[in-house]
Each structure stands twice: as structure tokens, then as C-alpha cells.
Copies of this chain bind each other. A is one copy, B any other.
Amino acid sequence: MSFMSPAVRFQNVSRRFGSVRAVDNVSLDIEPGEFFALLGPSGSGKTTCLRLIAGFEQPDEGHIEIFGETADGVPPYRRNVNTVFQDYALFPHMTVGENVAYGLMIKGVGKAEREEKAKSALAMVKLAGYESRRTAQLSGGQRQRVALARALVNGPKVLLLDEPLGALDLKLREQMQEELKSLQTSLGITFVFVTHDQGEALSMANRVAIFNEGKIVQVGTPSDVYERPTSRFVADFVGSSNVLSPEFAATHGGRAAWTSLRPEKIQIAPQNALVPAACAHAKGIVTAISYQGAVTRITVATEKLALIATTPAGTDVRKGDSVSLIWPKSAMVAMGEGA
């Protein structure tokens, strides 16, 4: 095992189901210790990717390496990789403690020792004392943490998490996000994380891969993908974005390319406000105002297209007002050709 090899390496991996290319010629390196997020619309191949890493699926083409060793033909139970399933997949016929100790029992760890380890794994996820509970008696958040402890107790080198927070409600989700993040930081394990919640991906991950139709369309840090989307798809999928046509961009100080402009970069000013040199502007009429608490979302119809701007709450524009939209030219991010 080389310390230089990536935790997970995909080399031109494809996986087909009938005519569906669930994963399509994906190459990807995930570095040791990364918190890596897979983001993409439903059906884009995220789960299939995780399953390929875990060994539940085998690539039809290409190769997967885990810490420099080939995973070809290696069954799941011989991979030092563990998974937290979306629906947790806790064994209903075992107690919480037995669930957590399961992997150790399979390895042949003695009863006393594995109970000890299960106990401390549960303590780590703040469920000390839950050992003898039935899994049916747990809330969603608690189950999620048991699933986490069950995976972590085996000391995996890579932990896979498939939308582990999807079933939780907002407050609980925020809390679990923090716990997960700090666990990952303290354990230094490589996390590969699937989510359909961009906020989650952006705030938790070191790097994010954006999937579309089985392909990776962009890999980068959260700010890379948010601020420098390389394609319309990414710009649109990650957060909300105004996508400017090449003509519009060109006439407003950008390049003649499809261009992304984030709503929060646009300021709303009175019709005749001064436009700083570094900024572009467009005039239009307010067509919709949507209160969102921290911000208000304002839709302005310009001559060419409708732009969305978000402003701090309390801006006193009204529907029908004629306004000027002003944004730094630097905020316009040109994207790949036909993207």
C-alpha cells in the first residue's frame, strides 16, 4: 500500500444496466482523508458509483483501485470500506449493540472486546447506553447514528454514505451535518458522500463531483463548482443561477459565451443609479417578489431576459417598479462552449 496512492481511483469506469449507462466512463481520484461529495440529479449514477466502490457492483469496463490495490473481483466483504445506507439497513433482529458489534463478530473478535468497542463507538455518536435497545425503538436521527457507529467500529479506510441525512428533518439534519463533519475531521477517514442537497454538499465537502447522466461534469472544491461552473448544467444545478446567453453576456461586458451570474451578485438600484466602472448593468421591471426570510428574491424582466436577484430582506422595491440591476463584471462566469 503506497501512501501516495489515492484512496479511491476510478479509471474509465462504466456500469450499464441494459441500455442505461448508469456510470459512463468515469475517471476520478479521491484523496485519502478527503470529505468527497457526489452531487447530481436523481438517476445520474451517484448511488451506482458508491456501490462500485463498496463492491456491490462490478464495473463493466475500467478499473477501480482502493488505496492503490485493484478492487477488480474483490467481493464487498474483503474491502476495507464501509457503507452507511440511505435507509440505514439496521438489522431488525439485533439490538443496537449487536448491530454495531456485527462487523467485529464476523471478524471473530471476542465477545467482551467487541462489546467494549461497540460501546465506545456508540459513545462517539452520542448514543452511549443504547446498546440493548431494539432498533425499532429509535428515531430517524438515532438510527442514522447507529448505522454510522456500525460502519466506523470496523475502522474502514473509506466510509461511503448514501444520502444519510435525506430522511431527517431540517433541524436534525443541520445537527447531524456538524457531527459528521467533526467526526470525519477527527478520525481522518476518507468520506465519500452522496447527497441531493447542494447546501449540504457545499458546506461539508472538501471537493464535490457533479454527476449528470452517468458522467462527471465537474469536479472541484465547493467554491469552484459554485462560483466557476464550467457548464450550464452545473450553474443551474448548484444553487440558483441566471444563465446569460452569449449575446447578452457580450453586450454586458462579458465574453460571448454562455455565462452564469449568481442572483446574490446582482444589486437592485434605482432606475438611474450610477454604475461603477467595474460593473455591468441592465434595466427592467420588477415582476415578482418572494420573501425568503434572510433574503428577498426579486425577479426583474429586462428587455432580453428575466433576471433573478436576491437582496437582503427589507429592500423596499415593489412589483412593477422600474429598476436598474448592477453587478460586477467579474461575477459573470463564462462556461464551456455548448454547455
Q: List the B residue with the shortest CB-CB distance to A237.
A: B171
B223 near A313 (CB under 8 angstroms)? yes
Asked if A293 and B170 make an inter-chain contact with CB atoms under 8 angstroms apart, the answer reads no
- Cβ < 8 Å to B, chain A residues 289-315: 290-295, 297, 310, 312-313
Cα distance, A291 to B238, chains bound together (Å): 13
Q: Is there an interface contact between A203 and B170, defined as CB atoms closer than 8 Å?
A: no
Return the contact of A226 from the options B174, B237, B262, B293 (Cβ within 8 A): B293
Q: Check A264 for interface membership: any CB of B closer than 8 A.
A: yes
Contact of A239 among B199, B262, B290, B294 (CB under 8 A): B294
- Which residues of A, 249-296, contact B by the 8 Å Cβ criterion? 262-264, 290-295
> Is residue A169 within 8 Å, beta carbon to beta carbon, of the partner chain?
yes
A139 to chain B: closest residue by CB: B42
Q: A291 touching B169 by the CB < 8 A rule?
A: no
CA of A186 to CA of B293 in the docked complex: distance in angstroms? 25
State the oligomeric state as a number of copies.
2
A196 cross-chain contacts in B, Cβ below 8 A: 169-170
Asked if A264 contacts B295 (CB within 8 A), the reply is: yes
Shortest Cβ gap from A211 to chain B (Å) = 14
Give Cα A199–Cα B199 distance, bound, in whole angstroms: 14
CA A237 to CA B170, docked complex, whole Å = 9
Contact B169 A222 (CB under 8 A): no
Q: Is A49 an interface residue (CB 8 A)?
A: no
A291 x B222 contact (CB < 8 A): yes
Chain B residue at minimum C-beta to C-beta distance from A310: B294
Task: Name A's interface SS.
Answer: mixed
- Contact between B171 and A202, CB atoms less than 8 A apart: no
Tell me if A197 counts as interface (CB < 8 A to partner B). yes
Any chain B CB within 8 A of the CB of A227? Answer: yes
Q: Is the CB of B293 within 8 A of A41?
A: no
Q: Is the CB of B297 within 8 A of A203?
A: yes
**Measured between alpha carbons, how far is A197 from B67 in the docked complex, in Å?**
41
- For A199, A239, A264, A294, the residue with the greatest tally of chain B CB atoms inside 10 Å of its CB is A294
A222 contacts across to B, CB distance below 8 A: 291, 293
Q: How far is the CB of A71 from chain B (nearest CB, A)?
A: 30
**Chain B nearest Cβ from A220, distance in angstroms:** 12
The 8 A CB mask of A173-210 against B (1 = contact, 0 = none) is: 01000000000000000000000111100110000000
Chain A residues near B (Cβ < 8 Å) = 41-42, 169-171, 174, 196-199, 202-203, 222-223, 226-227, 237-240, 262-264, 290-295, 297, 310, 312-313
**Could you list 22 examples of A-B contacts with CB < 8 Å?**
A41-B171, A42-B169, A171-B237, A198-B293, A199-B292, A202-B291, A202-B292, A203-B291, A203-B292, A203-B297, A222-B291, A223-B291, A226-B293, A226-B313, A238-B293, A239-B293, A239-B294, A262-B294, A264-B294, A264-B295, A264-B313, A294-B310
A-B pairs with lowest CB-CB distance, top 7: A264-B294, A226-B293, A239-B293, A203-B290, A202-B293, A222-B291, A169-B196
10 new A-B contacts at CB < 8 Å, known A170-B196, A203-B291: A169-B196, A199-B293, A203-B290, A226-B291, A226-B293, A226-B313, A227-B313, A238-B293, A263-B294, A264-B312
